[in-house]
Amino acid sequence: MQCSMACGGRACKYENPARWSDQEQAIKGLYSSWITDNILAMSRPSTEVIEKYNIIEQFQRCGIKTVINLQRPGEHASCGNPLEQESGFTYLPEAFMEAGIYFYNFGWKDYGVASLTTILDMVKVMTFALQEGRVAIHCHAGLGRTGVLIACYLVFATRMTADQAILFVRAKRPNSIQTRGQLLCVREFSQFLIPLRNVFASCEPKAHTVTLSQYLIRQRHLLHGYESRHLKHVPKLIHLVCKLLLDLAENRQVIEQEVVDIPDLSTEIEETVSQLASARLDKELTRQDSSSSEPFSVLRSNPLHASEHECDPLWHRENVDYLQPLSRSKRRLSYSDSDLRRAVFVSEQGETPWSMAVQVPLCPKANIPSNVDNSHLHTLPELNQEVLIRSTFNFIGRDKLKSDIKDSTGYKSRFPKEVKRSQTFSSGLAYDRKEEKEEEEDEEELKALNYNCSGKSSLFGKRMWSSDDSDSSRAEHDFHDIRDISEIPHIVVQSELTLEARRILAAKALADLNEFLEAEEVKQKVEIWQKELNSQNGAWDKICTERDPFILSSLMWSWIEQLKEPLLSKTDIDILAKNNTNSQEALKLLEKGKYHTILCILNCVVNLRAIPTDIEELVLNRAVEAFTKVSCDAKDGQYVYSTLKNVFKGILEHQRQSLKEGKEKLL
């Protein structure tokens, strides 16, 4: 009944190419539209249409490497062409896979919405897939669920607001994102990401302060691939700063190895969204949804912060659960039902789905065949200029968005190669994986966190800048304020210092012995980086251009000191005091996050090799102060400092001996 009334039953208009103009068929034979250069929204294909219109050949010519199916098997059985018994869809996924096109299936109820964690899994898949080439997404008509997923991806990848993403998708594919619940879903997803992206709680957009373990749970949501596997127990900022300090000490230039251009969508987004009125979205939210009989309150389009506004119940529940320490059962409930989550080992510290870094490409043009005809990319019906009006809402972050994306085109995103993936990934199919032994996992993590001092690669084994690049050529990729940070006179002569002098300089930076800048100046420059990391997708790449070890060290210590609770509590210190006969084993008694974070910093000190004893003493003092938030002259200061410094010195001695004997590569 639903099929016959909504779309024509067996004569389904969405599966009948004769019902659509050429402009509405970006792929001939399918009701389809290019939302961006690399993201295609389409109605579901069928075996008959695939064969009649050579859909697979068209996909190959267009560089489409992935198909994402949002339907559930058996769905819309009375629409259009009959379902294939083997798959429950109108086509066989094997037809695409045999042609080298990856296939993913995330079952999503028609006219419904998915959980926020499920959507996060989906945008992770999209991001990974876009590294391979273009992506085609479909549900039934390619309007509702497909539109929601693409809008959420745009929110995730470009930091545009939910309303901007909705309007942008609708401008490219009219009637997309069909129900009030779907509109709300995009808005909730946008709010869901705010605390996840927060690195420094005190900077805009502000969020609640969190403990180390809570932050690591957040981090696991947003990292993916290499980072998600090897930074399960170490904050990315700590690992990155330690690596950059060693690169500076060894005078290693970061060399570009694998790059993918970040496209400039800001102009297109601004021009499209500025012609549309966000007020229409609020009107849609106030109307009674045909699929629900309950009244609904309208969400504001402005970003909400739990500390400042009364949040929507669903968002409030998601946010509060996320910010608080999670019990084992709650962690399990926070999972999505996708096989992406089931296919990875769930960490003991925080059983949450892993995800990817946000500085991801929308349009990896490097992966698109050069012979692809792009003339059809944006063939969509002309917008009715009488209907479209100038936006009355503030295109939030318009200047920031333009600089964030446009200026980022000068930067290259680094993507470590993944292991070969399966060509099919269906949320409807079980995927069993034997869990690794805890000891083997810990050993792998320790090795992964080691820096190889003899190598020339940068963070995560990828290389960004050519060794023969001049400072001026690198500076062309920076924002003006960031360029000002890098262009400090004493940085220029660092490469002229001896290796020993550079190592001592890095050690002094860790000890906060700044001989070049005033404390207030350092504070200001650190605050700039804090805001960058909180608000811009490309900040993690940009920070690799920072050449001042004092700025980097201050940034790291400031992050540790802004945690809700000291990294090491009094209980932790008592544990270390009782087991100080074996420092290495004593440190392992701490939580994994604390153990690996402290070890990461100590390994950085070890790799600076022979540094003066007095400077090393000051480095340890600075570390203890940051870890405990206890000053040396405090009531228990002597006990705290003597206990921790004895443990840290024992670890440094052990690690140096291991390094000397060549038993392991440190950091």
Q: Which CATH architecture has domain 2-215+261-369+385-420?
A: Alpha-Beta Complex (3.90)
Under 8 Å between Cβ of 32 and 26: yes
Q: Kindly state the DSSP code that residue 211 receives in the 8-state scheme.
A: -
Residue 413, CA atoms < 13 Å, CB-side half-sphere: 29
- Model confidence at 435: pLDDT above 50: no
Domain locations in the chain as residue ranges: 2-215+261-369+385-420, 233-259+450-661
Q: Kindly state the DSSP code that residue 375 receives in the 8-state scheme.
A: T
d(CA 124, CA 344): 13
Average the pLDDT over 250-268 and give the result.
53
d(CA 599, CA 213): 16
d(CA 526, CA 531): 9
d(CA 379, CA 368): 19
Q: Which of 539 and 470 is assigned the larger pLDDT?
A: 539
Under 8 Å between Cβ of 162 and 272: no
pLDDT tens across 528-582, in order?
Answer: 999 999 988 789 989 999 999 999 999 999 999 999 999 999 999 999 999 988 8
Under 8 Å between Cβ of 240 and 540: yes
- Model confidence at 201: pLDDT above 70: yes
Give the three-class secondary structure for 137. strand
d(CA 94, CA 87): 9
d(CA 191, CA 215): 17
Residue 127 burial (CB count, 10 A):
23
Q: Catalytic amino acids? A: 139
d(CA 645, CA 650): 8
Query: Computed over its alpha carbons, how large is the radius of gyration of the chain?
Result: 26
| Entry pTM | 0.66
Residue 85, CA atoms < 13 Å, CB-side half-sphere: 0
* Helix (H), strand (E) at residue 260: strand 260-261
**pLDDT band (50, 70, 90) for residue 11:** low
Residue 20: closest CA among 9, 31, 28, 11 = 31
Q: Both tokens of residue 329?
A: 């059962």
In this prediction, residue 281 carries a pLDDT of 61
Using the CB atoms, write b or e for 482-506: b if 16+ within 10 Å.
beebbebeebeebeeeeeeebbbbb
Looking at the DSSP bridge assignments, the partners of residue 138 are 42, 69
Sign of CA dihedral 396, 401, 403, 406: negative
In this prediction, residue 268 carries a pLDDT of 57
In this prediction, residue 252 carries a pLDDT of 80
| Locus of tokens 């992406």 | 340
Give the three-class secondary structure for 340. helix
**pLDDT band (50, 70, 90) for residue 441:** low
Sign of CA dihedral 400, 403, 406, 407: negative
Average the pLDDT over 109-117 and give the result.
81
d(CA 24, CA 19): 10
Q: Which amino acid belongs to residue 364?
A: P
Mean pLDDT of the chain: 72
Q: How buried is 317 (Cβ within 10 angstroms: 0-12 exposed, 13-18 middle, 19+ buried)? A: exposed
In this prediction, residue 45 carries a pLDDT of 92
At residue 135, φ and ψ (nearest 5 deg) are: -125, 135
Least confident of 65-69, 77-81, 141-145, 206-210: 77-81
At residue 39, φ and ψ (nearest 5 deg) are: -120, 120
In 384-543, alpha helices (H):
398-406, 438-448, 471-475, 480-486, 489-492, 499-510, 519-535, 539-542
Under 8 Å between Cβ of 24 and 60: no
How large is the greatest C-alpha to C-alpha distance in the chain, in angstroms?
A: 83
In this prediction, residue 452 carries a pLDDT of 42
Q: Kindly state the DSSP code that residue 25 receives in the 8-state scheme.
A: B
| Contact residues for 86 (Cβ-Cβ < 8 A; gap 6+) | 92
Average the pLDDT over 184-197 and give the result.
93
Any idea which fold 233-259+450-661 has? Phosphatidylinositol 3-kinase; Chain A (1.10.555)
Q: Which of 141 and 425 is assigned the larger pLDDT?
A: 141
